[in-house]
Amino acid sequence: MKRPLILNLLACVVAIAAVGQRTVRGQSQAPPDHPSVTVRGQTYTPRSILARNMGTPEDQSTAFPPHKIIGNIYYVGTRTLTSFLIATPQGAILLNTTYERNVPVIQKSVEQLGFTFSDIKIVLGNHAHGDHQEGDALVKQMTGAQVMAMAEDVPALEAMKPGGKPHPIDRILHDGEQVSLGGTTLVAHLTPGHTRGATTWTMKVTDGGKSYDVMIGASLRAPDRITPQILGEFNRSFVSVRALPCDVQLGDHGAQFNMQAKYARLQSGGANPYIDPAGCKVEEEISEAMVRAIVAEQGARQP
Ligand SMILES: [Zn+2]
């Protein structure tokens, strides 16, 4: 009689501990602080990468000073969640609406730069997570813009319904397709792994009489557990991203391209710090190193 009782008690304690763990994890969403990888002298863990990307709740919703990045690309996002306005003579493209609550913040930044929010004709995104594309429905409501999304991200976007609003999708894109407005063309590159339809955008800009390749990268941040399917997607994406032409690298979080430091250098004049071909692929290197380290750790844990 004694043994089953002790076993029952043990099972109970384990169950309570497991529930407690899940609750803490669910609230904080913090990924583990291992494995760690070092890329170009900087050490990262899954937790430090997420913290770097997101900052504080205040960072996620406070406007970063709106400014011209290069050519016809302008920054209109928050301190940590990027949003880009691509201005053309026939209206503008907005890339990443971020959280719905940030739409008025983005609108204010657009207007501070002298543009008209209702001139936004096309809404694009980097990947189907709420911190990048939750505001799509509201921006469409306010501007009548066409929302375009990579086919593989459509199911995740359709599940995103702030305030019950259905997620608008006016055009479904496929790998390599182009989006054009007023003489500007963006190319949609399927770079999955973080989401099924994560999209890296490329475009050309002219600035000071020179032409530059711009790459607006989607997050390649690994989930806690990498399935063979996700690994296959990442492997394909790493090859694709490394091959893309790039003089100016942007991304869905400012930390992916050192935006705060580049903006500070922009204020002091001189050459445009966003033109940085040597730094273009650092984020890909960090992401790939982390995916490989997580896979190795997962392998080591298997019996
Ligand atoms: Zn994401």
Percent of the chain with pLDDT over 90: 87
What is the reported pTM?
Answer: 0.90
- What pLDDT, on the 0 to 100 scale, is given for residue 172? 98
How many angstroms is it from 281 CA to the middle of ligand 1? 19
Mean pLDDT of 268-293: 96
How many angstroms is it from 153 CA to the middle of ligand 1? 12
How many angstroms is it from 243 CA to the middle of ligand 1? 22
How many angstroms is it from 20 CA to the middle of ligand 1? 26
Residue 2 has pLDDT above 50, yes or no: no
How many angstroms is it from 259 CA to the middle of ligand 1? 18
Are the beta carbons of 167 and 154 closer than 8 angstroms? no
Q: How far apart are CA 215 and CA 199, in angstroms?
A: 11
How many angstroms is it from 6 CA to the middle of ligand 1? 44
How many angstroms is it from 176 CA to the middle of ligand 1? 21
**pLDDT (tens digit per residue) in 206-265:** 999 999 999 999 999 998 889 999 999 999 999 999 999 999 999 999 999 999 999 999
How many angstroms is it from 198 CA to the middle of ligand 1? 9
Tokens of 69: 């990045």
How many angstroms is it from 224 CA to the middle of ligand 1? 13
